[in-house]
Structure 1
Amino acid sequence: MPPNPAPLTSPTAEDFRAWHRVQSAALAHDRPGEPVPTATALQAELTTTSTRSRMLLWLVRNANEEPVATATLRLFTDPGRSHLAEVRLTVHPAYRRLGTGSRLLSTVTEAAAQAGCRSAVTEVMAGTPYEGFLATRGFTAVLRLTWLRLALDDIPERIDKLPDVPHPGYRLTGWPGVVPDALAESFARARQGMDDMPTGGMDFGEVRWDVARVREIAEVVARRGEQLLTVAAVAERDGAVAGYTELVVPREGGGTAQQYDTAVLPEHRGHGLGLWTKAEMLRRARARFPGLTAVQTDCADDNRHMLAVNTALGFRPLRRTVEYQLDLARR
């Protein structure tokens, strides 16, 4: 490996196949039994970006041109988050403990500093050597997460009945893809319900929501070949979105879906809208995508309310991860 690997500027089809080999081997080793993204899905994830961020890619090969490591650096361009960089680094299990990860991490964090970022964050499996690897390189643990999985065959029958429980003053609605025009403004406002989500000590910054942003997120999901479903609770008094939940379904419409945001505006909390919308989402997802086998989500360990909602729906812990942060000004 050269001392300073250069980012990929024009990745080829072979580069993406090599990237997939590294990722597949690492996932099989580190998270056995969990699904591995297809090569097509992985390439779409790496190449489909929004106007809110840009991505740099590194693919490291050894002297025999075998792929040994990958890294991504997401640089946020929003005014409220332009200080932040997100790092994802993977080393093939056969090439670990040879210095590859250390040199690649140094290269990537240097690129973040040169881009003007003050913080870099990354996520690793809890209780693994990755934590020590980061701690000895100046990273600090800032947020602990529990990833949960719901096997759709195990959904209790009562969940199908939850949407029929009266919630006076509210009604449920939903849509695939981009939010309908009639709800766009209030849905953008409802996204502010994520503002007080637990972020630990992370230098998360400020996300500014507007109609253009929520539409672009849906469009990015579609360009990746995935399908976005949203279920919302609407207040009868003004027809505005009070809370919502989102689900992203894989391109093929089967396998494991990923839960995105679930939020309720502060003035509408205490009515069970989070549980109501998530239960309705599960019912609709099963009906629309019979090939789905599971739903996966993550939740900050400090977010006791959402952990309780997920547990009530039948989600069970899958793994635990830790978000680490590097103060680039102190490197």
Structure 2
Amino acid sequence: MPANPSPLAAPTAEDHRAWYHVQSAALAHDRPGEPVPSQAAVRAGLTTTGSRRQLVLWLLRGSGDEPVATAVLRLSGTAADGSGTDGPADVQMTVHPAHRRLGTGSRLLATVTEAATAAGCASLAAEAVSGTPGEGFLATRDFVPVTRLTWQRLALDDIPDPVGKLPDVPHPGYRLTAWEGAVPDTLTDGFLGALRALPTPAAGLDTGGCRWDPAAVHEAAELAARRGDRLLTVAALHDGGDVAGYTTVLLPGDGARRAQQHDTAVVPAHRGHGLGLWMKAEMLRRLPAVQPDLAEIHTCVPDDNRHLLAVNTSLGFRPLRRTVRFRLRLRRR
């Protein structure tokens, strides 16, 4: 591997195949028993981004030209002209299992960190599975753990029978609604209010810097559509017209039978009424009609969100794995 590998400027079809070779081998090794995303889904994630996010890619090859490692640096809040950002950056690095413990990861991380620093980023985030060498790798390189996450799986055949009746339970002062894709124009202001009231940025909507405005909300839905996926949202509306909460699921467009549960959130002023469980139960009732071949849902929840963990458990979600979110503060130039 070169001491300072260069970013992948214009990925070819062969580059995407090589990238998938590394990704699929690593996922099969690190997460045995879990489904591996299709090559089409991996490629869509690399080639389809919003205007508020820039991706920088590295594909490293060995002496025999075999692909050995990949890295994607996500720069949030990047200007449309490609200029730098002072926001956070995120890195996902993958080393093929057959090429680990040879120094490739260390040199690749140094290159990515230098690129993030040069772009003016304030920090660099990364995630590793708990209890694996990846966790120790980041911890010994000045990354600080900031969030611990529990990933969960729900097999749709294992949903407890009582869950199917929950959407019909009255919640005085509230009603449920749903939409696919972009939020309806009549609900945009209320949906923005719900997003802005949340203590942390929404995890599921890819808008880069998460500066919520109507354009950002609509672009998030358009981005999913361009990748061939479908974004389904169920929301609870207050009698006064406010969006009191919402839950969102990303339905795969590549034939995969696994959906991704994204955000579930209730505005602080409307908590304590069981809206989270109500909305998620309604989502589960709708999914078979929306995508009949769907078999399971995956999601992740911060360990300190005990309420949402309890809600998911009552719906039938079971632990899949645990990860740690790290952050490295970068030196300003």
User: TM-score normalized by structure 1?
Assistant: 0.94
Q: Does 1:222 align with 2:225?
A: yes
The equivalent of 2:272 in structure 1 is 270
User: How far off is 1:191 after superposition?
Assistant: 1.3
How do 1:188-227 residues align onto structure 2 when only pairs under 5 Å count?
188-196=192-200, 207-227=210-230
User: How far off is 1:246 after superposition?
Assistant: 0.2
The equivalent of 1:90 in structure 2 is 94
The equivalent of 1:167 in structure 2 is 171
Q: Does 1:181 align with 2:182?
A: no
Which of residues 257, 260, 274 in structure 1 aligns to 2:259?
A: 257
The equivalent of 1:202 in structure 2 is none
User: How far off is 1:38 after superposition?
Assistant: 0.8
Residue-by-residue CA offset, 1:69-105 (whole Å, 9 max, x unaligned): 00000001179x8421100000000000011111001
CA–CA separation in structure 1 for the residues paired with 2:40 and 2:200: 35
Q: 1:145·1:322 contact (CA, 8 Å) conserved in 2?
A: yes
How do 1:121-136 residues align onto structure 2 when only pairs under 5 Å count?
121-136=125-140
Q: 1:198·1:300 contact (CA, 8 Å) conserved in 2?
A: no
Q: 1:174·1:230 contact (CA, 8 Å) conserved in 2?
A: yes
Residue-by-residue CA offset, 1:304-331 (whole Å, 9 max, x unaligned): 1111111111100000000111111299
CA–CA separation in structure 1 for the residues paired with 2:230 and 2:202: 27
User: How far off is 1:208 after superposition?
Assistant: 2.9
Which of residues 303, 327, 330 in structure 2 aligns to 1:328?
A: 330
SS of structure 1 residue aligned to 2:182: coil
- Structure 1 pair 19/113, CA: closer, same or farther in 2 (3 Å)? same
Amino acid at match of 2:146: V
The equivalent of 2:307 in structure 1 is 305
The equivalent of 1:69 in structure 2 is 69
CA RMSD of aligned residues (A): 1.9
Q: 2:202·2:263 contact (CA, 8 Å) conserved in 1?
A: no
The equivalent of 2:30 in structure 1 is 30
Amino acid at match of 2:235: A
CA–CA separation in structure 1 for the residues paired with 2:156 and 2:53: 34
- Structure 1 pair 197/45, CA: closer, same or farther in 2 (3 Å)? closer
Q: Does 1:137 align with 2:141?
A: yes
User: How far off is 1:192 after superposition?
Assistant: 2.4
Which of residues 160, 171, 184 in structure 2 aligns to 1:156?
A: 160
- Structure 1 pair 308/139, CA: closer, same or farther in 2 (3 Å)? same
CA–CA separation in structure 1 for the residues paired with 2:167 and 2:201: 25
- Structure 1 pair 110/323, CA: closer, same or farther in 2 (3 Å)? same
CA–CA separation in structure 2 for the residues paired with 1:100 and 1:169: 57
User: How far off is 1:66 after superposition?
Assistant: 0.3
Residue-by-residue CA offset, 1:117-152 (whole Å, 9 max, x unaligned): 121000000011111111221111111000000000
User: How far off is 1:252 after superposition?
Assistant: 3.8
The equivalent of 1:16 in structure 2 is 16
Unmatched tracts of structure 2, length 5 or more: 80-84
User: How far off is 1:266 after superposition?
Assistant: 0.8
CA–CA separation in structure 1 for the residues paired with 2:328 and 2:51: 25
SS of structure 1 residue aligned to 2:121: coil
Unmatched tracts of structure 1, length 5 or more: 200-204
Q: 1:218·1:228 contact (CA, 8 Å) conserved in 2?
A: yes
Amino acid at match of 1:66: E
Q: Does 1:231 align with 2:229?
A: no
User: How far off is 1:193 after superposition?
Assistant: 4.1
CA–CA separation in structure 1 for the residues paired with 2:220 and 2:255: 19
User: How far off is 1:212 after superposition?
Assistant: 1.4
How do 1:25-64 residues align onto structure 2 when only pairs under 5 Å count?
25-64=25-64
Residue-by-residue CA offset, 1:153-212 (whole Å, 9 max, x unaligned): 00111111000001001111001111111111111111124325899xxxxx98432221
